[in-house]
A and B are shown apart, each in its own frame.
Chain A
Amino acid sequence: MYPKDLRYSKEHEWAKLEGKRVRVGITKFAADRLSDVVYVELPQVGSTVAFMQAFGVVESVKAVSDLYAPVSGTVIETNQSLADKPEVINNDPYGQAWMIVVEPKDLKELDQLMDAAAYAAMTGEATS
């Protein structure tokens, strides 16, 4: 259900270590719960984000949700295509719908996140 190569926050973000960078998005669980995402607000490239502090906002037709950084550091890339096609967050949350890439300050923060099995257990979708 959840990709094994990602780490997961309790606020439903995923973090993917790519060399020395961390790519960030939200999980399928979060996207399904929001449903019909219509707007994403992301930080500027060069701004800093802090571990489990809000870095942006995702809006669906019905609700607004904060996005929480699964790692502290500097934003070095943001996904501009989400401005015009926010619906990919519902369709392809781990692929096209990545949100930011962070140059992390302390990679050990990722140890505080969950692996796929722990995240699945938290969302009540324990894998057998």
Chain B
Amino acid sequence: MASETLKRTPLHAAHVAAGARMVPFGGWDMPVQYSGIIDEHRAVRTRAGLFDVSHMGEVSLTGPGAVAFVQRLVTNDLDRIASGQAMYTPMCTAEGGIIDDLLVYRLGDARLMLVVNAANTDTDLAWFRSHLARDVSLTDVSAETALLALQGPRASAILARLTREPVDLIKYYWFREGVEVAGRRAIVSRTGYTGEDGFELYAPAEDAVHLWQAILEAGRADGILPAGLGARDTLRLEAGLLLHGNDMDTTTTPMEVPLGWTVKLQKGDFIGADVLRRQKTEGTRRRLVGFVLDGRAIARHGFPVHVDGRPAGTVTSGSFGPTVEKSIGLGFVPPAQAAPGSPIAVEIRGRAVPGTVVKLPFYTRPKTGTT
């Protein structure tokens, strides 16, 4: 794709000025790294990192039918969350295929915000609109919304310096609206995609640069680093979090990937429920698992997974895990090979590199007592 057709976040100029390496991602010109992927990864695990994820799409839903509308589209159960709480959920086709995975923010009983993947925003909007009820009004607020992710063990202390709100009291997957941060208003949410403690801040696009600089300044003594999509990918992989478009798509159901916990068949009818109910009873023909390879060669997306010397599946994500210091990955295997400890191999440049299925996640953060 030519660079002039790529979209830019409100922080694009700041990334370029800071010397970030820019790459196309999901139709956007995004920073893949600043100082280096491993450096940024380690900063997030041990101190703090700040990500610009303004490329994500945000959709506002209002009206008395908003909750019922979303309930019909997603697999998880919105009745399980209160106002002020967020929920992770896949959204499926009638065949159970995952159109996207999203966050649903329950701003009120008739007010929701959906956060969707950048590459899927247009597809999702078309899907929402084709199912829209008359008592719901939908607005795409992606362009006017910036999203910053402040992640890492120092995140809470850094954010606390910029606001009078007791942000450390916000529990995991809860949020507060209209929080004053560095003199600007944001939704502050205790969420993230790194496996660390942290916050995501939704703010007006025009406040993005001010907030970005204020947070980096407030975290300087803690060793905060601006971080790019490269570190975001290694962090999420170590944390066992899936990436739509890599690990799952419309040909994949939540029962085949480790997202069965997000499928609430008791909640009432929703799109895809029939297929997912059947798969829950009968099982699936393949399962997405985590694996560790012997040695340091990396299993890349699309490489064949071998069982007993024969191709039996495919790698969906793979990297060197900078914190676990191993070659790790996610891939599909037959159900018989899905149990932790099962031997597998990945074909890398014509050679079968042995490995082992492991329990996800690869990395769990040390417990600190908060949240």
Given A36-B36, A64-B300: 13 more A-B contacts, CB < 8 Å: A35-B21, A36-B38, A38-B296, A38-B320, A39-B296, A39-B327, A57-B349, A59-B297, A61-B37, A61-B230, A61-B234, A61-B320, A86-B296
- Binary per-residue interface labels of chain A (3-38) against chain B in the complex, 1 for a CB within 8 Å, 0 otherwise: 000000000000000000000000000000001101
Q: Which residues of B contact A35 (CB under 8 A)?
A: 21, 33, 36-37
Distance between Cα atoms of A38 and B322 in the complex (Å): 9
Q: A residues touching B (Cβ–Cβ < 8 Å)?
A: 35-36, 38-39, 41, 57, 59, 61-62, 64, 83, 86-87, 90
Q: Is B298 an interface residue (CB 8 A)?
A: yes
**Complex contact B298–A39 (CB within 8 A):** yes
Q: B residues touching A (Cβ–Cβ < 8 Å)?
A: 21, 32-33, 36-38, 230, 234, 296-298, 300, 319-320, 322, 327, 349
Q: Which residues of A contact B36 (CB under 8 A)?
A: 35-36, 90
How many interface contacts (CB-CB < 8 Å) are there between A and B?
40
Q: How far is the CB of B77 from chain A (nearest CB, A)?
A: 37
**With contacts A35-B33, A38-B320, A39-B320 known, is A61 near B38, CB below 8 A?**
yes
Distance between Cα atoms of A39 and B298 in the complex (Å): 8
Chosen A-B contacts, 23 in total, with CB atoms closer than 8 Å, are: A35-B21, A35-B36, A35-B37, A36-B36, A36-B230, A38-B38, A38-B296, A39-B297, A41-B297, A41-B349, A57-B349, A59-B296, A61-B230, A61-B234, A61-B319, A61-B320, A61-B322, A62-B32, A62-B230, A64-B298, A83-B296, A86-B296, A90-B36
Q: Which residues of B contact A62 (CB under 8 A)?
A: 32, 37, 230
Q: How far is the CB of A66 from chain B (nearest CB, A)?
A: 10
Considering only CB atoms, which chain B residue lies closest to A38 in the complex?
B320
Q: Which residues of A contact B319 (CB under 8 A)?
A: 61
Distance between Cα atoms of A86 and B32 in the complex (Å): 21
Distance between Cα atoms of A36 and B37 in the complex (Å): 7
Q: How far is the CB of B40 from chain A (nearest CB, A)?
A: 10
Q: How far is the CB of B328 from chain A (nearest CB, A)?
A: 11
Q: How far is the CB of A19 from chain B (nearest CB, A)?
A: 33
Q: Which residues of B contact A61 (CB under 8 A)?
A: 37-38, 230, 234, 319-320, 322
Q: How far is the CB of B45 from chain A (nearest CB, A)?
A: 15
Q: How far is the CB of A107 from chain B (nearest CB, A)?
A: 31
**With contacts A38-B320, A39-B320 known, is A59 near B298, CB below 8 A?**
yes
Distance between Cα atoms of A86 and B327 in the complex (Å): 14
Q: How far is the CB of A55 from chain B (nearest CB, A)?
A: 13
Q: Which residues of B contact A39 (CB under 8 A)?
A: 296-298, 320, 327
Distance between Cα atoms of A57 and B322 in the complex (Å): 20
Considering only CB atoms, which chain B residue lies closest to A33 in the complex?
B21
Distance between Cα atoms of A86 and B298 in the complex (Å): 13
Distance between Cα atoms of A18 and B207 in the complex (Å): 59
Distance between Cα atoms of A35 and B34 in the complex (Å): 11
Q: Which residues of A contact B230 (CB under 8 A)?
A: 36, 61-62
Q: Which residues of A contact B300 (CB under 8 A)?
A: 64
Q: Which residues of A contact B21 (CB under 8 A)?
A: 35
Q: Which residues of B contact A83 (CB under 8 A)?
A: 296
Q: How far is the CB of A96 from chain B (nearest CB, A)?
A: 18
Distance between Cα atoms of A55 and B152 in the complex (Å): 41
Distance between Cα atoms of A36 and B296 in the complex (Å): 13
Considering only CB atoms, which chain B residue lies closest to A39 in the complex?
B296
Q: How far is the CB of B109 from chain A (nearest CB, A)?
A: 44
Q: Which residues of B contact A57 (CB under 8 A)?
A: 349
Distance between Cα atoms of A104 and B98 in the complex (Å): 56
Distance between Cα atoms of A36 and B36 in the complex (Å): 7
Q: Which residues of B contact A90 (CB under 8 A)?
A: 36
Q: Which residues of A contact B32 (CB under 8 A)?
A: 62
Q: How far is the CB of B272 from chain A (nearest CB, A)?
A: 34
Distance between Cα atoms of A83 and B294 in the complex (Å): 13
Distance between Cα atoms of A116 and B340 in the complex (Å): 52
